[in-house]
Amino acid sequence: MAVEYHPENPHGFEHAAQFTNDHNRLVCKNPALQAIAEAFIRNMSRVRGIGMMPINLVAISVSNEAAQMEAMANLKIPFHDSRITYGHPDFDPILFDKVSIERKRLLKEWSKDPAVNQNQKHFLVGDSNQAQSWEGVQATLAAMLMGLWTAFESLTQDTWIEAVNTCPNPLAERVLEPSANLKTGSQLKSVSWKVIKSAGFDLTGSMGSVLLRQKAVDFQQLETIRAAYDVAFAGEFEPIFSAHEEQLSQLEAVRNLFAHKGGTIDRKFIDRMKNVPDLKDMKEGEVFCVTGQYVAQKANTISQCSTSLISGVDNWLEQNPSKP
């Protein structure tokens, strides 16, 4: 089951950061697109960091405390011995160093055992202490999902703008066609004098930025993102969106649910997700609960779709130099 929305079910937090690293190898020939790619990589790393930090921090704390206790036992030193307590009159720096050396030896030894590391993760995020950890874990997983959508939204917008700025003919021309359906609910009829002035009276290299500023295109919804690319590139990149349509739509819906409803399931969300088998039993008013596996699945989708899209635009710009 990919999504579990009852608090009593395991949430598999340790799986959330276990998604592909393929986007780390993303390289664009266009310098401006390369900068966008690097920002995307950092955003994806930030999402992974959100999932890894709680585990790492608590694991370090638990491991150090366990190693400290075992080191004292190995050296036959009583627990709470005043000789290894800083500031105590009986403090013995030599004995303290012996305990520290033994503690570090144990930590190094434990780090080589995968079973120990996995048991730590299971305990920390766990199915064994859900009553205490559920709310914090769910908040972290929700933050990761929202970060994924932000990474995708930013890449699609910045890539489109740069492409249209670079090659307004034919990209901007297609957007300005009266028949262009950009799904924004409005059609750009003119460019304001203020915008022309701010561009230095030359829109040749800034048409993408102008079209966004004039709200001819919109990148806050999946539907309008697809429409902007479909119109400007004459449908060339639609197969990329189609291949990931279901997963992207779900991520958008979940992101909006957390951003606008605090994760509380409403009728709109149920209607949008009614064809998802794992969610057929969810009820209005319940809190939507996320699993680590679900986050990793969506992260893989964002990684693959975004990488394919910016790489495709990069190749398109190389093969289609701007026309006068």
Q: What pLDDT does residue 7 have?
A: 45
- Of 218, 219, 222, 265, the C-alpha closest to 247 is 222
pLDDT at 324 over 90: no
What integer is the mean pLDDT of 238-261?
A: 96
* CA gap 93, 293 in Å, rounded: 47
Instruction: Give the pLDDT of residue 299.
Output: 96
What pLDDT is recorded for position 317?
Answer: 96
Which comes out higher in pLDDT, residue 280 or 164?
164
Continuous segment of H or E residues that includes residue 220: none
Report which DSSP code applies to 323: P
User: Could you please report the per-residue DSSP string of 23-47?
Assistant: GGG---SSHHHHHHHHHHHHHHHHH
pLDDT at residue 80 in the model:
84
Residue 256 CB neighbour total at 10 angstroms: 16
- In sequence order, the 6+-apart residues with CB closer than 8 A to the CB of 39 are 154, 155, 158
The rounded distance, in Å, linking the Cα atoms of 61 and 215 is 50
- Supply the pLDDT for residue 6: 45
* Contact (Cβ atoms closer than 8 angstroms) between residue 147 and residue 50: yes
Share of the chain above pLDDT 90, in %: 51
Which residues are registered as beta bridge partners of 287? 264
Residues 47-64, mean pLDDT to the nearest whole number:
72
Say if residue 107's pLDDT is above 80. yes
Q: Give residue 43's pLDDT.
A: 96
> Given a cut of 50, is residue 308 above it in pLDDT?
yes
Total residues belonging to the chain:
324
23-38: average pLDDT = 96
Residue with tokens 């319940």: 286
Place of tokens 């590139």: 233
At 306 the pLDDT is 97
| Average pLDDT of span 57-76 | 78
pTM exceeds 0.85 for this model = no
Supply the mean pLDDT for the chain: 85
CA distance 17 to 296: 6
DSSP 288: P
**DSSP type of residue 264:** B
Residues 6+ apart with CB under 8 A from 232: 160, 163, 164, 171, 172, 174, 175
Q: What are the structure tokens assigned to 81, written together? A: 């011995």
Residue 22 has pLDDT above 50, yes or no: yes
Q: 287: helix, coil or strand? A: strand
Residues 188-200, mean pLDDT to the nearest whole number: 60
CA–CA gap between residue 157 and residue 220 (Å, rounded): 9
Name which of 211, 194, 109, 195 is nearest 157 in CA terms.
211
CA distances from 11 to 6, 114, 121, 134, 164 (A): 10, 21, 12, 8, 43
Domain ranges, ordered by start, for the chain: 13-317
Tokens of 249: 């739509």
Tell me the helices (H) and strands (E) count for the chain, helix number first.
12, 0
Q: Which of 301, 295, 296, 273 is nearest to 286 (CA)?
A: 273
- The stretch 147-151 carries a mean pLDDT of 97
Question: Could you report the per-residue pLDDT of 222-248, keeping only the tens digit for each?
Answer: 999 999 999 999 999 999 999 999 999
CA 147 from chain centre, in angstroms, equals: 4
